[in-house]
Amino acid sequence: ATPVTTLDRLRTRVAAVMGYPADGIDPATPLTDLGLDSLMAARIGAAVLDEFGAKVDLKVLLRQGTLADVAAALEQTEPGTAAPSEAATDRVLPRDAAERLVAHAWQHVAGGPPPGAEDDLRLDDHPPALRRRLAAELTERAGLPVTPDDLIDDQHTRPVTPAAPVTVAAIAARLRPALEAADAEPVRTLRGGGTRPPLFLAHPAGGSSSVYRPLISRIGDDRPCYGLERLPDLRDVPERAAAYADLIRTTHPEGPWVVGGWSYGGLLAQETARLLSEHGTVEALILIDSVLPLPAEDFTPADGSTSPLHRFAAFAEYVERAYGSPLTLPYAELDALSDDEQVELVMKTLEQAVDLPAPILEHQRTSYLDLRSGERHTPRPYPGRTLLYRATEPAPHTVQDPRYERTDAALGWDAYCQDLTVHDLPAHHLALLDPPAVDVLAAHLARDLDGA
């Protein structure tokens, strides 16, 4: 049915950003418990502005905010007046990705709100068909084979008895090793099958390639699509790109290939495409608002706003505004450290100063590390067909860096990509992979690739 209430409309937009089905987010569950990080919060803010024409305070989201809180604010009522729900009791909420996956799969097949981590699902009280449906739902969501027997026993766990109920936590414990192994794979299958040249999309800074799912679902179903995940053991763009080129050739040895990425992912993709072109045909390089930062030596404002320490100071100001806690950084100590050491010390100080969920801390840490690797990288010339999709509106970044605020249409890529085509998109950087901007992006991309 068409969403009609504020909460329904909000849940549909938030679910699309976070990768859940619309009925998979309980209004009373803190979004940070569902994996919300600062990038997702910014994207949700953009989605709310598009849907309701109103700005949402990101602090509401990042401080254990719920859909009910945001919907109440949008309706100009007090968040405390939101109707209580069953999920707002003292139940133990799902605590990690494995438990959330099981809880939402159960909700999908059994109805009602998502169960708590320790809730007894009472599988024996349900017909065998429900167990089969739950196994099938978990198989689809996890991308791994799950059988009905996996729900109640395996070779590592004693048989479930009345004294050992079948809970979300128990099922998640059986699935977690396989789930974690799948997440650790450097190449993620976003869509298998198809006869067109495969599309490989590199992860954005600090993020996962799952961010591309809304785009993939809109460009037709005849092209295999893969995500290139973060390689934490490799520090710089050239070595990461070399590994990606090898992985792509292992996945599809002969080519042709299409390679691309959003934001930092575009830097990885450009070098990967350059290396791949020595072994076969790269049909197109896709850059989704990937900005080459202006060189620090050519762009040094008097206020020092491009220096790492100045950016950390701006980040500390943001933390105090967003979370209400001062972040006192040891600048003298930071000044003597390497890039990576600076990031680790800032994140350690942040963890001690503010009670933040682990996903937010990890996203912030890896974002800084990836962005610094991009700033150290100088692209090399690439002669192949390059498609740049450029956002035309200013983005609400948490920390502004003048080096990324370029006004040239090519965002610096015309110096390195000889065959460059630029398309303008009427949105800001953080909104490009969400409706409605992703619809425009997908239409451009599908048309451009069809004409290759």
Q: Which pLDDT tens digit goes with each residue over 325-354? A: 888 988 889 888 888 898 899 989 988 888
pLDDT in tens, 104-132: 778 778 876 667 777 888 887 888 888 89
pLDDT computed for residue 436 by the predictor: 86
Task: Select from 316, 311, 318, 320 the least CA-distant residue to 329.
Answer: 316
Q: What's at 204, amino acid-wise? A: P
pLDDT in tens, 254-306: 889 999 999 999 999 999 999 999 999 999 999 999 999 887 665 555 554 45
Q: What is the mean pLDDT of the chain?
A: 82
User: Which secondary structure element, helix H or strand E, spans residue 168, and what is its range?
Assistant: helix 168-183
| Average pLDDT of span 427-437 | 87
* Length of the chain, in residues: 452
Taken in order of first residue, the domains within the chain and their CATH numbers are 1-89 (1.10.1200.10), 91-184 (1.10.1200.10), 187-292+379-450 (3.40.50.1820), 296-375 (no CATH)
pLDDT computed for residue 82 by the predictor: 33
Bridge-partner residues for 382, per DSSP? 417
DSSP state at residue 120: B
Q: What's at 139, amino acid-wise? A: T
pLDDT computed for residue 223 by the predictor: 95
Q: How much is the pTM? A: 0.70
- C-alpha to C-alpha distance for 269 and 237, rounded to whole angstroms: 9
Angle at 301 between CA 296 and CA 305, to 5 degrees: 75
- C-alpha to C-alpha distance for 255 and 5, rounded to whole angstroms: 48
**pLDDT at position 91 over 80:** no
pLDDT in tens, 131-159: 899 998 888 666 678 888 888 754 333 34
